[in-house]
Amino acid sequence: MDTAVQIPSQLANSETILNREFSQLAFNWRVLEQARDPAVPLLERLRFLCIVGSNLDEFVEIRMAGLRAQAQGETGRGARAEGTRGFFARIAAATHDLVAAQYQTLNEEILPLLADKGIRFLHHVERNERQRAWVAEYFFREVKPLLTPIGLDPAHPFPQVFNKSLNFVVELSGRDAFGRDTSVAIVKAPRVLPRVIKLPPEMGDVEMPFVLLSSVIRAHISDLFGRREVLAYSQFRVTRNSDLWLDEEEVKNLRQALSGELPQRHLGQAVRLEILADCPDSLARFLLTQFELDDVDLYRVNGPVNMVRLAQVIDQVDRPELKYPRFTPGLPDRLRGEPDLFTAIRRQDILLHHPFQSFDPVVDFLRQAAEDPRVVAIKQTVYRTGTHSMVMEALLEATRRGKEVTVVLELMARFDEEANINWAERLEQVGVQVVYGVVGLKTHAKLALVVRREEGGLRSYAHLGTGNYHPATARLYTDFGLFTARREICKEVSEVFLHLTSLARVERLRRLWLAPFTLHRRLIRAINQEAQHARSGQPARILGRMNALLDEGVIAALYAASQAGVDIDLIVRGACALRPGVAGLSDKIRVRSIIGRFLEHSRVYYFFNLGAEDVYLASADWMGRNLHRRIEVAFPVLDPELKQRVIDEGLKAYLADHRQVWMLQADGTYRRPAGRRTKGMPSAQEHLMRLLGEPSDEQ
C-alpha cells in the first residue's frame, strides 16, 4: 500500500472539462481503497465497502437513471460526440468494473479476515446440525408467516417490486394445484425482518456466527411450494429511478403534492437489475423482460445483492480492536467555563469544527433560546435533520413557551422528503410558522437566528454553518459552524430570512454572499482579483475546499487565474471536473481528495488578497446547482484568531496530509503519493482529533 495506486484509465475523459459521472465513479474507487487498506480496522473496512454500495445505489438511482432516460431518446447533456447511448454504455461498463472489484474485495479480503477473527457468515452447507435446526425453527417461526409467494399466471401477474427490495425468482417443476403449467414464482422478503441474523455462539466452534436472511429463505424456499420441486432460484434486486419531479409551476400546495408523489418513488422506472452470479440465464432473461431492461443493466454478483445490509454486523460485534478507537469531541476554549451561551457569544465569535469539536453547543443554543424568557423569536433553516432530532424538539418547545418560531423547511431534500414532511406537520400542529423556501430553488443555507430582548432593545445572535442541523451526522461529517452576535452579520442573516419568507427582493448584502443572486458573481470576482494581483507581480493565492467542483464558469476563472500565475490548491472530496496540471492551462492548480474516517463535508474559500487573507465558510459547493439553483450562503470569518484557525485546521492541515491524500492527475486519474506511510506523519483528521478532541487513553 506504500506505492502509488492508480484508478483504471477508463475513468478519465479526454476533454478539458472532466466528466461528472466518471469523476463520481473515481471517488467510489477511492472509497473502495479504504476497504482494501490493511491499516484501517477490519470492521471499518467492511463499513467502507458498504459505503461504496450505498453510494452506487444513489449513483444508479439518480445519475444513471437520468442518463438512461436520455439514452432512450438520444438527447440531452452528457451525450458528447458519441451519442447518449454510447456514453451510457461507457458509464455502465465502468460501473460493472467497480462492482466486480467491490465483491472481489468482500470475498477475497474482508470475509476471510473476519473469519480469522471468529466472525463468519455461514452458508447452508457450512452449518452444522444444531445450526441448521436453529435456522429452520427461525424460518418457520419468524419468516414463513410473513412470506407471500406469488405463482405467476394471468390472474397473478408479475407483482410490483419496490426499489432496492430483496426478492427471489423461483422456477418450479410440474403443474400447480389446479393442473396448470405455472413454472415461475416470485417471493418478496419482508422489509420488517433483519437482513443479518446472529446465531447463538454455543452452537458451534465459531465465536460469532451470522446468517443472512437471504440464506435462511434459500435454505427453506422449497417449503413454500408444497410438493412442487424447485428447479432453480435466485435472489434479485431492482434499482429504480428515484429522482422526484414536480411541475412546480402547477403545484398549489408543495407539501400535499410531494406527499402524493413520494410513494411512487419506490416504483419508478427500473434502471439496474442485480442477481446472483449463478442465476440461470432463463430466469435472468425473464426478469430483464419484466423490468424492460437490457443486458448492460444486468449485474451478476458473487454475494448478497444488497451489500449495504452487511453494515448491520458492525453494531452487533463488540470488538473494539476491530473498529476505530473511541473518540470524544472537545469544546472550544471560548466556551469553557461559560454555561450561558448568549454571554459567551456576545463577548466574541465562537468557531466550532465538527466532528473534532462537539455539536452539543448548537443544540444547547436552541435549547437555551427555548427556555430563556428574554428570547422572543427564533428563525431556522432545515435541510436534513433526521427522524429524531433534538434541534427540532427544541423548536417545538420554544413554540410551546410562546416564542415566535419560524422554520424554513426544505421539503425537497433528496431521500429526506418524508422525514421533513413529518416534521412540517408536527411543527405546524404546535404553531410554528413553517415555510418551504422558494419554489424551484432548494433552501440549502445553514442558518439560525435568535432574537433576544436585552438592555437597549432587541439583540440578535446567529449560527451559520457548512453542514446540516443533524446531530448524528455531525459526529461523522467534517463541518464548520460559527456563532456570532456581530450586528452586521446578524442583520444580513435576518434579511435572508425575510427574503425566504416574504419572497421580497433581498436588500444589498455587504458581508454574506447569497445564491442564486451574488454568490457566483462574487466568487468569480474574488478569483479574478487574485489573477489581477498576479499579473501585476503581487503574490496571489487561492485555496478551496468543497465536496464537488463542477461549475464550468468557476473552472474557466480558475484556469485563467492559473495562467496569470495564481498559486491554487483545491481540496475536493468527490467529483471534480477541473483538469489540473495541464501545461498552458492549469499548471499552477493542484487538486487533492482526502478520504478518511470522517466524511469530508466542509466548504472553505480562501483568497490571499494582498495579505488580507479573506476566508469564507459556505453551504455551497462549486457546482451549478449550488450557485444558480439553490438558496446558499457563504459567510466571512472576521475574528482574526478564528480566521487563522480555519486556515490552519481547515486548509493547511489538509495540504500537509500525505497519508489519506489522493492527487488528481492531468489525465483525470487519481494517484496516492509514494511513501505516504511515513512514520510520525498523522493524517489531517488524526491531527485534528488530537488537537481538538478530549484526551483519551485510546487515542
- What CATH code is carried by the domain that includes residue 314? 3.30.1840.10
pLDDT in tens, 615-659: 999 999 999 999 999 999 999 999 999 999 999 999 999 999 999
Q: Tell me the percentage of the chain whose pLDDT exceeds 70.
A: 90
**How many domains, the chain?**
4
Do 339 and 415 lie in a common domain?
yes
Identify the pLDDT of residue 677.
Answer: 60
Do 518 and 647 lie in a common domain?
yes
Res. 685: pLDDT tops 90:
yes
Do 268 and 129 lie in a common domain?
yes
- What CATH code is carried by the domain that includes residue 469? 3.30.870.10
Among 60, 82, 117, the domain-final residue is 117
pLDDT, mean of residues 346-370: 97
570: which strand partners? Answer: 544, 591
Q: Is residue 670 part of a domain?
A: yes
- What CATH code is carried by the domain that includes residue 108? 1.20.58.310
pLDDT in tens, 186-242: 999 999 999 999 999 888 778 899 999 999 999 999 999 887 889 999 999 999 998
Do 63 and 93 lie in a common domain?
yes
Q: Is residue 339 part of a domain?
A: yes
Q: Tell me the percentage of the chain whose pLDDT exceeds 90.
A: 77
Do 273 and 346 lie in a common domain?
no
Residue 538 host element (H or E): none
Res. 11: pLDDT tops 90:
no
More confident residue, 597 or 73: 597
Neighbour tally for 249: CB within 10 Å: 7
| Domain span at 73 | 7-117
Among 485, 510, 535, the domain-final residue is 510
Do 494 and 549 lie in a common domain?
no
Identify the pLDDT of residue 197.
Answer: 95
Identify the pLDDT of residue 223.
Answer: 93
Do 358 and 441 lie in a common domain?
yes
311, 305, 300: which is closest to 100 by C-alpha? Answer: 300
Identify the pLDDT of residue 439.
Answer: 75
Res. 6: pLDDT tops 60:
no
Window from 10-19, 145-154, 346-355 with minimum mean pLDDT: 10-19
pLDDT in tens, 228-284: 889 999 999 999 998 765 545 444 455 555 555 556 667 889 999 999 999 999 999
pLDDT, mean of residues 294-300: 96
Do 367 and 309 lie in a common domain?
no
Identify the pLDDT of residue 505.
Answer: 85
Q: Is residue 699 part of a domain?
A: no
Among 117, 142, 163, the domain-final residue is 117
Identify the pLDDT of residue 522.
Answer: 98
Do 309 and 393 lie in a common domain?
no
657, 568, 575, 551: which is closest to 606 by C-alpha? Answer: 568
Identify the pLDDT of residue 268.
Answer: 87
pLDDT, mean of residues 12-21: 74
Q: Is residue 198 part of a domain?
A: yes
Q: Is residue 99 part of a domain?
A: yes
Q: Which amino acid is at 608?
A: F
Identify the pLDDT of residue 76.
Answer: 45
Phi/psi for 409 (5° steps) reads -110, 120
Give catalytic residue positions.
444
Do 252 and 367 lie in a common domain?
no
Res. 73: pLDDT tops 80:
no
C-alpha cell at 124: 447452508
479: which strand partners? Answer: 354
86, 21, 19: which is closest to 56 by C-alpha? Answer: 21
Q: Is residue 326 part of a domain?
A: no
Q: What pTM was estimated for this model as a whole?
A: 0.91
Identify the pLDDT of residue 259.
Answer: 57
338: pLDDT confidence band, cut at 50, 70 and 90? confident
Res. 8: pLDDT tops 70:
no
pLDDT in tens, 502-526: 988 887 899 999 999 999 999 999 9
Q: Is residue 584 part of a domain?
A: yes
175: pLDDT confidence band, cut at 50, 70 and 90? low
Do 203 and 87 lie in a common domain?
no
Do 473 and 525 lie in a common domain?
no
Q: How many CA atoms lie within 13 A of 173 on its CB side?
A: 8
Indicate the DSSP class of residue 284.
H
